[in-house]
Amino acid sequence: MKALCWTGVNETSVEEVPDPKILNSHDVILRVILTTTCGSDLHLLGGYIPFMRSGDVLGHEFLGEVVEVGTGVQKHKVGDRVVVCSFISCGKCWYCQNKLFSLCDNGNPNPAITEALWGFAPGGCFGYSHALGGYAGSHADYIRVPYADQGAFSVPDGVPDLTALFASDAAPTGWTGVDQAEVQAGDVVAVWGAGGVGQMAAAAAQLRGAERVIVIDRIANRLQQVEQHIGAETLNYEQVDVAAELREATGGRGPDVCIEAVGMEAHSSGPAYLYDQAKQQLRLQTDRPTAVREAIHACRKGGTVFTLGVFAAVVDKFPLGAVMNKALTLRGAQQHGHRYIPQILEHMARGELTTEHLATHVMPLDQGPRGYDMFKNKEDGCVRAVFQPAG
């Protein structure tokens, strides 16, 4: 079959790779209908996640049709149209039983790497390096889905493919941040990053009853999407003093909840960005925490800061003093999508959640390398490049 593979730093190629096979009774095999790039894939592409091997298949956000079913699968049959959570969780361990699905003890068959980095290993993730399980990704004609009864969800009739696709990762990641940050009705919520995850976090905050939701970015067409399709307010950090604008919007207090949806390659217009970029390039730190620092400083006293953007390991100049002295709650998580995907699909079926606009560029899988270039460089207003393996 064809697959889009990582072949080196900033290099991808469409290759012929072996078809996936049922390995365990709880597996299904999907024919991939749609699969999309995600901002966190760029960390793999750029070599910032150092556990990739040439030939690894990329992609973790996807929707497909079931073509083969393991003997132990009970919820799915051949022909089902399903969206799959990007994180792989068993549904049986202590973490899954407590609905902390991305922390699953059994989803990652290579736990030693992340145990050494972080103390304990999270679950596995499709197409996201050998640190998170070494699973083949979704930028391919077919994919094996382990624990399919837990991680694959039937798409309701009437929900288009291009809508349901983003119930795989972008939407449940946004839902995770808003729910775990305990956004309340009447809150003011600020979101750093107007990509797919940031937009979905803003949408989730609005559905939860936030009084004002303010999204911060520098890219005009993404901010326009936020205003047009999500209905949230926007700030362009290259044009305004974000901290001053947020204080003005909140009677001088600052937002109740600040959600960082940018991650380890954050941009900024200030000197801190140059400092972070230089240290990251010299491998003196693994991540650029510019947006995290801004969120911590902007948040009101006693508020909550939540990191949804992907970070790898260590950062410098982390404002721990602000966290302590302002009595902030600081949290972060990969998505617990198994908890949120059913309600997200219900919102989509009722027309309450708009996602199709994220798919600015839809193309055959053969054009995957070009799609990644457009996505990385934000050419032609690319927010997400979506691949159709069947062409």
The predicted-structure confidence for 214-248, as pLDDT tens digits, reads as follows: 999 999 999 999 999 999 999 999 999 999 999 99
Q: How confident is the model at residue 194 (pLDDT cuts 50, 70, 90)?
A: very high
Predicted local confidence at residue 149, as pLDDT: 98
Identity of the residue numbered 19: D
Indicate the SS3 state at residue 62. Answer: strand
The yes-or-no verdict on residue 23 having pLDDT over 90 is yes
Could you give phi then psi for residue 349, rounded to 5 degrees?
A: -65, -30
Structure tokens, 319: 């404002």
Whether residue 301 is predicted with pLDDT greater than 80 in this model: the reply is yes
The predicted pLDDT at position 71 comes to 98
Across the chain, mean pLDDT equals 95
Q: Is residue 265 predicted with pLDDT exceeding 80?
A: no
pLDDT above 90: percentage of residues in the chain: 87
Mean pLDDT of all residues in 8-35: 97
pLDDT at 8: 94
pLDDT at 212 over 90: yes
Decide: residue 187, CB within 10 A, 0-12 exposed, 13-18 middle, 19+ buried. Answer: buried
Bridge partners, residue 135, by sequence: 126
Rounded distance, CA 240 to CA 190, Å?
A: 15
34 C-beta neighbours (distance < 10 Å), count: 23
Measured distance CA(18)–CA(4) in Å, rounded: 13
**Cβ–Cβ < 8 Å for 49, 129:** yes
pLDDT of residue 282: 75
pLDDT of residue 343: 97
Phi, psi torsion values for 174, nearest 5 degrees: -60, -40
Instruction: Round to whole Å and give the CA distance between 93 and 187.
Output: 34
Contact 202, 228 (CB under 8 A): no
What is the distance between the alpha carbons of residues 146 and 125, in angstroms, rounded to a whole number? 11
Looking at residue 47, what is its pLDDT? Answer: 86
Choose among 215, 243, 198: nearest CA to 383: 198
Contact of 149 with 174, CB cutoff 8 Å: no
Q: Which band of pLDDT confidence, cut at 50, 70 and 90, is reported for residue 305?
A: very high
> Contact 339/87 with Cβ under 8 angstroms?
no
Distance from C-alpha of 148 to C-alpha of 165, rounded to nearest angstrom: 17
Residue identified by tokens 């998170």 is 132
Whose CA is closest to 322, among 336, 308, 302, 340?
302
User: 239-261 burial by CB neighbour count: b if 16+ within 10 A, else e?
Assistant: eeebeebbbebbeeebbbbbbbb
Q: How many CB atoms lie within 10 A of CB 273?
A: 15
Q: Which residues contact 50 (CB under 8 A, 6 or more apart)?
A: none
Q: Residue 336's pLDDT is what?
A: 96
The reported pTM is: 0.95
Distances 295 to 177, 182, 230 between C-alpha atoms, Å:
14, 16, 21
Provide the residue type at 107 as one letter: G
pLDDT at 206: 97
Mean pLDDT within 13-42: 97
73/63 Cα distance (integer angstroms): 18
What is the spatial distance between Cα 390 and Cα 32, in angstroms, rounded to a whole number?
A: 8
